[in-house]
């Protein structure tokens, strides 16, 4: 008789443990969802702030460029000053574009070649050990 009650209590304990584990897992998932929502909201606000800073920086760069043109216009005709500053900016843009192109070429192909090679070596080692 005590065996049946012990078996029932063990079965009940296992059932109770399963329920608690399920509840705990659901609560952990919900906590993770809430945390990710909060981090996503903050990341969105941060991205918006970076965007606003970029726009303001663009206006600031425009004002500095206008100032350079006006400064250069004291030495040459204003239209020539604008062409000189524009050409200098085009040259800088070209150099930056070439730098960016080289960086993109260095990053391609996008596959992690070192990791792939390492995995291939691991597979070879495992194959060799299995053959022994």
Segment 23-47, tens digit of pLDDT: 888 898 888 888 888 888 999 999 9
Q: Hey, which bits of the chain come out as E strands? A: none
Looking at residue 5, what is its pLDDT?
60
Give the separation between CA 30 and CA 69, rounded to whole angstroms: 58
Give the separation between CA 63 and CA 54, rounded to whole angstroms: 14
Q: Which of 33-42, 46-55, 110-119 has the lowest mean pLDDT?
A: 110-119
Looking at residue 3, what is its pLDDT?
60
Instruction: Report how far apart, in Å, the C-alpha atoms of 97 and of each of 51, 102, 108 are.
Output: 21, 9, 17
Give the separation between CA 63 and CA 61, rounded to whole angstroms: 5
Give the separation between CA 129 and CA 127, rounded to whole angstroms: 5
End-to-end CA distance of the chain: 57
In this prediction, residues 38-61 reach a mean pLDDT of 93
**pTM of the prediction?**
0.54
Residue 102: CA atoms inside 13 Å, Cβ hemisphere, count?
6
- What pLDDT band is residue 77 in, cutting at 50, 70 and 90? very high
DSSP state, residue 111: S
Give the separation between CA 17 and CA 83, rounded to whole angstroms: 78
């Amino acid at each position: 008789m005590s065996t049946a009650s012990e078996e029932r209590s063990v079965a009940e304990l296992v059932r109770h443990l399963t329920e608690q584990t399920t509840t705990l897992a659901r609560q952990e998932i919900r906590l993770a969802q809430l945390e990710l929502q909060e981090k996503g909201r903050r990341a969105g606000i941060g991205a918006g702030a970076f965007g606003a800073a970029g726009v303001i920086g663009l206006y600031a760069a425009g004002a500095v460029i206008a100032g350079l043109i006006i400064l250069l216009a004291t030495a040459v005709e204003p239209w020539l000053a604008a062409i000189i500053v524009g050409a200098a900016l085009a040259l800088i843009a070209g150099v930056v574009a070439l730098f960016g192109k080289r960086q993109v070429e260095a990053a391609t192909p996008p596959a992690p070649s070192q990791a792939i090679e390492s995995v291939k070596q691991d597979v070879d080692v495992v194959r060799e050990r299995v053959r022994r």
